[in-house]
Amino acid sequence: MGYFQVFLLLALIPGSTGLDNGLLRTPPMGWMAWERFRCDIDCRKDPTNCISEKLFRDMADRLSEDGWRELGYEYVMIDDCWMSMQRGSDGRLQPDPDRFPGGIANLARYIHDRGLKLGIYADMGSATCMGFPGTTLDKVELDAQTFASWGVDYLKFDGCHSNAIEQSIGYPLMSKALNWTGRPIAYSCSLPAYLGGLPPNVNYSYLGNICNLWRNYDDIEDSWASVKSILDWYSTNQDDLQPAAGPGHWNDPDMLIIGNFGLSLDQAQAQMALWAIMAAPLVMSNDLRTLSADARAILQNRVAIGINQDPRGIQGRRLLQELGHIEVYWRPLSHSANALVFLSLRQDMPYLYRNSLANLNFPAGSFEAYDVFSGKTLSGLTDHTIFTVSINPSGVVMWYVYPQQGVFRYV
């Protein structure tokens, strides 16, 4: 049967395009190769950093031995450039034999033995973004079966080298093919990023039924300018994007670049705080083997992680853009708690920002505010109290705000 006939058959089966895996009730957490290691495939010149089974074993070791797994960082994700340049004689994708001599199934066992999960990359098109074999429509079911047979737990499905018609068929077809394997595999779709990211080109109600998460916008780069651009796009379009997120279906603003070369300490805190507010995947792309203590402290901040993983799964919003280049972000949480982020886009000096909770739409009452990065608690705060926070240039102050008679949940 041809793929167009398959697609028509799927359309006639009730519920046939629905993703039914029960996964990612909170945003995924883990590590991915791409932003830090790109498509480095020269293992003779760069054996430590090339895309190889050694790199992914090294990162699995770090996640399992350095306290990451216990905090929820559980996925080790392979991105582009893992494949051989040709499919096998059986038509299946195969890893590069020199860089992955043990094969993907063996790597999956290594990762699973450490209490972690394996993610892999494929592309809905004639080739991946870097020119390796793509998943054309006639190969969707075969590739899904292959990934399941290897023990893969997560698929990132890119969309280079395909057109809108192929994408409209291929993404739901892969969703169903993953269901058919019988193995729970989280499914990340890049479809919105290829359609402009917004309605009416993107139907997020439909997308939430076939994907666990999706890339909406540009790839992140290792710079504060890139972080700001992504944040501003999501905030400007939050009325369209925010309702699409929730348990099992998330917007993905791309990887955490904390611990690389492009962010200051304040900017690194800002990315962590804002990704937590946005209920974004916390997927690091850095070198866990050489990570600084400061970067580790930010990425392992239990309160920021707890806010990100809040079971209500409500994506936060930008509340205010002040004339002093200060922005305020808010996210409602479980147990009548809330998260606030005060972001400075200034470049000159620390800024003393004043406001009250009443002006931020909080109800009447008494509250406590825990500063996520300083560890200090502000008590005796009422809705009408005028508070002052000092925000460093391109930095944040992040609060976990809860009723005075409530319980602080993330210690």
Catalytic positions, written as ranges: 158, 219
How remote is the C-alpha of 14 from its chain's centroid? 30
Q: Which residue, 236, 238, 404, is CA-closest to 331? A: 238
DSSP string, 108-163: HHHHHTTT-EEEEEEESSSB-TTSSB---GGGHHHHHHHHHHHT--EEEEE-TT--
Q: Which residue, 14, 8, 22, is CA-closest to 249? A: 22
Give, for 42, the enclosing helix (H) or strand (E).
none
CA distances to 101, 172, 176, 217, 335 from 145, in Å: 21, 16, 11, 29, 42
CA distance 105 to 402: 46
Q: Which residue, 226, 296, 256, 221, is CA-closest to 29? A: 256
CA distance 402 to 389: 18
Give, for 31, the enclosing helix (H) or strand (E).
strand 29-32
